[in-house]
Amino acid sequence: MRKIFGIFVVLTLVAGTVLFAGGPARVGAQGGGTIEATVTYAGAPVVEKLKVNKDTEKCGTEALIEKVVVGAGKGLANAVVSVAGAKGPSTAKKASVDQKGCKFTPHVVAMTAGELEIKNSDDILHNVHTYSTANPSINKAQPKFKKTMTEKFEKPEIIKLTCDVHSWMLGWIAVMPHPFFGVTDGNGAAKIENVPPGKQTVEVWHETLGKATKEVEVKAGQTTKVAIEMKK
């Protein structure tokens, strides 16, 4: 009797742990599907050029402000692709953005709520200046000797990131409410894994071109391809 009770307790604990730790993400891991999105833009790239008058050893002599980056096959880079309305836990991996060559790398960093590591690989002063409404905005100096700092972003929001010392520096922090997101690469491709099966809405956000959505049917264990064209 006692033995049976013991086994029951252990089973309950195990089951509970699995269920608790699982949630939608774990469901995805076991029975989720994959979305492979391709974001395209038929228009021309938008790149502003600026002559650099300081720190040219680090920043180069000409700065590019890349507002729309279009790669092979009209693929649109730097777009955040996500599953609209989804719920899920934070990802364990700490997001990171670097200031290198007077550019934010990556240009768009997507993360779930939590800490963001901000690096300064340039050996010159940058100031990390965010424009946000849901999260407290920050404007912190990051001199050459402060190689890394960590900032917390608790609320979902897309935040503009700038540096006043180098006015052309522009980046974005996309704080997402769930882990089902990706950022398009140079060819406009992004992959989202472990998406809960069923009808889902894929949402695209781009800093210059705005938002677009498309409905998809996600099947467990399968890859769903979706093509989304952004318009001006």
Partner 1 sequence: MRAGAFGSIVLAIIGLLLHAGTAGAQGGDAAAGKSVYEKKCALCHGDKGDGKGAAADLLVPKPRDFTTGVYKIRTTASKAPTDQDLFKIITDGMPGTSMPPWAVLPERDRWNLVAYIKTFAAEKFKEAPKKLELPKEVASSPESLKRGKEMFEAIECHKCHGTDGRADGPSRPELKDEWGTPIAPANLTKAWTFRGGASRTDVATRLANGILGTPMPTFLDSVEKPEDIWHVTNYVLSLGPGTVKYATLVTVTAVSDAIPDDPNAELWKTIAPSHIPLMGQVIVDPRNFNPSIDMVSVRAVYNDKEIAFHLTWDDPTQSVEDAAKKTFADAISLQFPPKITADTERPYFLMGDASDAAYLLRWVGGTGVGEATANGPTKIAPIAGGEATGKAVWANGQYRLVMRRPLDGKAGTRPTFQPAVFASVAFQAWDGGAGETGTKMSLTSWYYLRLEEPQSNRRFVLPPLVAVLTLAAMVLVVRVASRPRAK
Which is nearer to partner 1, 54 or 152 (by Cβ)? 54
Kindly state the tokens that stand for 186. Answer: 């140079």
85: Cβ–Cβ under 8 A, 6 or more apart, which residues? 201
Shortest separation between residue 147's beta carbon and partner 1, angstroms = 12
| Paired strand residues for 115 | 152
DSSP 151-213: EEE-S-EEEEEE-SSSTT-EEEEEEESSS-EEE--TTSEEEEEEEPSEEEEEEEEETTTEEEE
What amino acid occupies position 143?
A: P
Which is nearer to partner 1, 41 or 153 (by Cβ)? 153
Shortest separation between residue 51's beta carbon and partner 1, angstroms = 11
Which is nearer to partner 1, 12 or 150 (by Cβ)? 150
Shortest separation between residue 127's beta carbon and partner 1, angstroms = 4
Which is nearer to partner 1, 141 or 227 (by Cβ)? 141
Positions in the binding site for partner 1 (CB under 8 A)? 53-54, 124-125, 127-129, 131, 136, 139-146, 149, 164-167
Which is nearer to partner 1, 31 or 136 (by Cβ)? 136
Shortest separation between residue 137's beta carbon and partner 1, angstroms = 8
| Whole-number Å distance between alpha carbons of 211 and 226 | 16
* In contact, 42 and 25? CB cutoff 8 Å: no
Kindly state the tokens that stand for 225. Answer: 């391809």
Shortest separation between residue 153's beta carbon and partner 1, angstroms = 16
